[in-house]
Amino acid sequence: MGSGTTTPNGPSRRGSIERERKNEKMPTKLRIYCIVEGEATSFPVRIFPDCSVGELKQAIKAAKKPELDHVAADKLTLWRAVNPKRDRDDKVDFDGTVDKTELDDEMALLSELDELTSRRTYVIVKPPPPVQNSSLCLRCIMAKLSNQGRLWISL
């Protein structure tokens, strides 16, 4: 039974459904340029416009593999920055960038990045500060003092 034929339940719609699918357009992915705070070069992330900022964080983490492997995606802070200020080494100066807005994890990208196409807008990625293991640090200090002959342990 080909397209436009009659079936026991009536005329076949297969041909019209296929034409409807051809006419449907796939949503276009956004290309968002991101810069990790303190780095000089941006990198593109492609993502659908109806995705959330939280999903963008996951895409950024994947794009910056292995540099961001030690950070959970939800711990990244994202800022929309228009014409971000750069220091002498051409690295993004996060604190010096005046026109910046923190992005909300639950919001759709289109609502948060409304100026994305009109001006030089970037997403600045700010990873959390590194966490030091306090017991590891204590061991390092004790080892250093012991090597210098300043650590005395009395029992």
Give pLDDT tens digits along the chain (155 positions).
455 556 666 655 555 555 555 555 656 888 888 989 888 888 999 988 889 999 999 999 999 999 998 899 999 999 888 777 777 777 777 677 667 788 888 888 877 776 555 556 788 898 888 766 555 566 666 666 666 665 555 55
Q: Domain 30-126: give its CATH architecture.
A: Roll (3.10)
Q: Where are the domains of the chain?
A: 30-126
Is the bond preceding 66 in cis, omega lying within 30 degrees of 0?
yes
- pLDDT computed for residue 111 by the predictor: 77
pTM above 0.85, yes or no: no
Q: Is 58 left (phi over 0), alpha (psi -120 to 50) or beta?
A: alpha
Report CA dihedral (61, 66, 68, 71) to the nearest 10 degrees.
Answer: 100
